[in-house]
């Protein structure tokens, strides 16, 4: 695999935390040494709907080393859960009552003096149930779907105008449940420091949001909840919220009056921290004979849990991606006896892009126009939904970059007409977009007498290299070598900044770093009696004024420009695939992903983001599928042996390219998010390439050999 992405003559600085991670010095949430720690193991329900009739914990309680077995029968009341009103739909309240909503729902937590003893004792807990009739099959229940609260159908122009067009495409597209499976299992250590004060080491994408959630649940002042998460071993949306197992660990630590460590098993990960929901979609496209879009109709139905409504923007991409006068979309959710889904990289846009970009590809064959030419023909020069100008858009540049790199000129419009060494060969592409955001953040910048610049804010880093990007921004502004800059984060006691999600952190926190560094530099200029920034000798100025340090704390947020412009990041993904005509096996021969995401502030980590997103989209297209046995409402492949994810052998050379043109309005760096667009459109690009190779259109993911032979 090629390992270089050139930006002028520089590849950019390496990860500031890279050495810590590869040498094992980086501590993750389960790795902290806490005196007197005990161990928790969850016990899950064995039915998908009903009530607990009896729960027998005596054997478990009598097992060696067991300190407590917590169930709804003996759990202390969680203050934030108590209400006299009927329970509205919302997050699962653990150990609240005897209701069972899904198979695997936690019904007990065993706490013991060792993990092995807790695991054994958990196997001794048994329950009987009054079973209800469960529903876990999306297809069988689509007719029961309902519009989300506050959700409205979208209509621009004429509804279902595609039906009147000379050329029509009308097809259904399905993605199965796709499960969050980061390397690091979700884990928490909870330690009460006083009756009203707690410290947690937690896998979370937002220490401030976790702080708020725990404070609200246990009615504590937020400042009495200390959340620490400096390193997170991968998270694609599953750690955006506080889940029941985290509340359970905090509760258990209160019960046993000792710290409790709770690490989910890999099987627990399938039922405890969300997933990309099983979603049905129907696309209707209408166009003129020369390929100009007349109308788009996009309907979708996604699963949610019986106790909580989860929604995502599946159909939004059809409102925004192309210039089309008539667009209407409908979205509904289907309540099933499953755990609640969660955002998963590219959230609804990745799901919606599979349908829209597959349908566009089908249209390209119906009108006999090259897929790129078709997209350029329907290119939106202004935002179709709001009519606002874009803050920046260089998607045509991205089309050209990717086409040149993949060798698009070798593609033939006739499916199945190209072979290489006996393998059917096909080329496909798919695009995507995601909103480019800038929120609010506060950063402390402190220059020390030894020349060290310390930057502090609460944001977490789930792997994209946030610290590296922030150090790059500060180094350029202050003229301080990256080696002399320390970025402190993942600590709820630090100045507030957003949860890491939605591709907004570089824009939001980077802007605060930018503003803090400028303010700090201004203070140094005032001390130095100069109006020129130039090359300041910070160490000398501090020494001259007998100061040990100089610091500022600066808050930053977006302004009026967010209402004037439509702000998006854009992607286009190209795939060359080989398909064995006998076995139906699909191999990715070459992958090219191009991002139009403004100025790239950290080239190396940006490249890693795009490659990772391409790999994730490959899993979505070719192998990932959580399977439920609907007789029992139980997952049958909740492990890495049966739930397949891409491994090294599945992934070819991945080329990550960037337009790298700054956005002049979104923030001082001109940078926009790229984490989501790295996945949005990948699955469609692969499906489209498979069709180009074989003439077989697979509309229900994953594309497995049985669907091609």
Task: Render pLDDT for 198-219 as a digit per residue (tens, 0 to 9).
Answer: 999 999 999 999 999 999 999 9
- Rounded to the nearest 5 percent, the helix, strand and coil shares of the chain are 30, 25, 45
pLDDT of residue 151: 86
Does residue 624 have an active-site annotation?
no
Q: Do 106 and 72 contact (CB within 8 A), yes or no?
A: no
140: helix, coil or strand? helix
Tokens of 80: 């934030």
Tokens of 405: 């790199």
pLDDT of residue 445: 98
pLDDT of residue 11: 64
pLDDT of residue 84: 72
Residue 98, CA distances (Å) to 50, 74, 250, 309 in order: 8, 12, 20, 21
Residue whose C-alpha is closest to residue 680's, from 322, 353, 406: 353
Task: Render pLDDT for 25-35 as a digit per residue (tens, 0 to 9).
Answer: 999 999 999 99
Q: What is the DSSP letter of 635?
A: E
Q: Do 160 and 332 contact (CB within 8 A), yes or no?
A: no
Q: Using omega within 30 degrees of 0 as the cis cutoff, is the peptide bond preceding 13 cis?
A: no
Q: Do 694 and 708 contact (CB within 8 A), yes or no?
A: yes
Which of the residues 178, 246, 625, 676 is marked catalytic? 676
pLDDT of residue 337: 98
Residue whose C-alpha is closest to residue 199's, from 223, 232, 231, 235: 223
pLDDT of residue 257: 98
* Burial 588-606, CB ≥16 within 10 A → b, else e: bbbbbbbbbbbbbbbbbbb
pLDDT of residue 215: 98
**Which residues of the chain have a pLDDT value below 70?**
1-11, 85-87, 533
The H or E element spanning position 631 is: none
pLDDT of residue 382: 98
Give CA–CA dist 271/253, Å, rounded: 23
- Delineate the domains of the chain, giving CATH numbers in brackets: 29-132+183-235+239-272 (3.30.365.10), 275-437+564-707 (3.30.365.10), 439-557 (3.30.365.10)
pLDDT of residue 4: 35
Mean pLDDT (the chain, rounded): 95
pLDDT of residue 427: 98
């Amino acid at each position: 695999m090629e390992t270089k992405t050139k930006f002028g003559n520089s590849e950019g600085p390496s990860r500031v935390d890279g050495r810590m991670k590869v040498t094992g010095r980086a501590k993750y949430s389960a790795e902290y040494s806490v005196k007197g720690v005990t161990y928790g193991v969850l016990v899950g329900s064995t039915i998908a709907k009903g009530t607990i009739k009896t729960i027998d914990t005596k054997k478990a309680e009598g097992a060696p080393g067991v300190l407590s077995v917590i169930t709804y029968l003996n759990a202390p009341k969680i203050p934030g859960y108590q209400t006299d009103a009927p329970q509205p739909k919302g997050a699962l309240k653990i150990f609240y009552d005897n209701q069972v909503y899904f198979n695997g729902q936690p019904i007990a937590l065993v706490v013991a003096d060792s993990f092995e003893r807790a695991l054994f004792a958990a196997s001794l807990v048994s329950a009987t149930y009054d079973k209800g009739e469960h529903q876990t099959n999306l297809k069988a229940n689509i007719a029961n779907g309902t519009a989300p609260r506050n959700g409205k159908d979208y209509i621009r122009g004429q509804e279902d105008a595609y039906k009147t067009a000379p050329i029509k495409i009308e097809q259904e597209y399905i993605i199965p449940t796709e499960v969050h499976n980061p390397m690091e299992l979700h884990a928490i250590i909870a330690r009460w420091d006083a009756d009203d004060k707690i410290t947690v080491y937690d896998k979370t994408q937002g220490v401030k949001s976790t702080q708020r959630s725990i404070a609200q649940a246990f009615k504590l002042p937020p400042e009495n909840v200390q959340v620490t998460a400096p390193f997170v071993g991968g998270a694609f949306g599953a750690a955006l919220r506080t889940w029941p197992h985290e509340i359970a660990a905090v509760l258990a630590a209160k019960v046993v009056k000792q710290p409790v460590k709770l690490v989910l098993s890999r099987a627990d990960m399938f039922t405890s921290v969300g997933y990309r929901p099983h979603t049905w979609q129907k696309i209707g496209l209408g166009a003129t004979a020369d390929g100009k879009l007349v109308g788009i109709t996009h309907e979708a139905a996604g699963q949610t849990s019986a106790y909580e409504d989860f929604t995502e923007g599946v159909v939004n991409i059809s409102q925004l991606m192309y210039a089309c006068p008539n667009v209407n979309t409908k979205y509904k959710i289907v309540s099933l006896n499953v755990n609640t889904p969660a955002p998963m990289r590219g959230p609804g846009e990745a799901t919606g892009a599979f349908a829209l970009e597959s349908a566009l590809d089908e249209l390209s064959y119906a009108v006999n126009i090259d897929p790129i030419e078709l997209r350029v023909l329907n290119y939106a020069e202004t935002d179709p939904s709001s009519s606002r100008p874009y803050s920046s858009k260089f998607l045509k540049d991205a089309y050209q970059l990717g086409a040149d790199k993949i060798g698009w000129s070798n593609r033939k419009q006739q499916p199945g007409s190209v072979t290489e060494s006996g393998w059917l060969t096909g080329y496909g592409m798919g695009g995507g977009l995601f909103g480019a955001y800038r929120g609010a953040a506060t950063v402390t910048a402190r220059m020390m007498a030894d020349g060290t610049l310390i930057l502090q804010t609460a944001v977490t880093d789930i792997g994209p290299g946030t610290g590296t990007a922030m150090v790059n921004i500060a180094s350029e502004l202050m003229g301080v070598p990256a080696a002399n800059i320390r970025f402190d984060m993942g600590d709820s006691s630090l100045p507030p900044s957003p949860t890491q999600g939605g591709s907004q952190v570089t824009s939001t926190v980077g802007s605060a770093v930018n503003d803090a560094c400028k303010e700090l530099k201004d203070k140094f200029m005032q001390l130095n009696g100069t109006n020129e920034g130039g090359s300041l000798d910070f160490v000398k100025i501090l020494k001259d004024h007998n100061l040990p340090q100089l610091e500022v704390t600066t808050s930053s947020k977006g302004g009026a420009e967010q209402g004037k412009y439509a702000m998006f990041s854009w992607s286009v993904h190209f795939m060359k695939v080989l398909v064995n005509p006998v076995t139906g096996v699909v191999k990715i021969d070459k992958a090219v992903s191009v991002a139009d995401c403004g100025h790239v502030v950290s080239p190396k980590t940006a490249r890693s983001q795009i490659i990772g997103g391409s790999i994730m989209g490959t899993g979505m297209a070719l192998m990932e599928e959580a399977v439920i046995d609907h007789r029992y409402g139980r997952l049958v492949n909740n492990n890495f042996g049966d739930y397949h994810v891409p491994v090294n052998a599945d992934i070819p050379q991945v080329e990550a390219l960037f337009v790298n043109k700054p956005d002049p309005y979104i923030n001082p760096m001109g940078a926009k998010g790229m984490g989501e667009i790295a996945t949005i459109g990948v699955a469609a690009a692969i499906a489209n390439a498979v069709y180009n190779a074989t003439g077989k259109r697979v509309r229900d993911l994953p594309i497995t050999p049985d669907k091609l032979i």
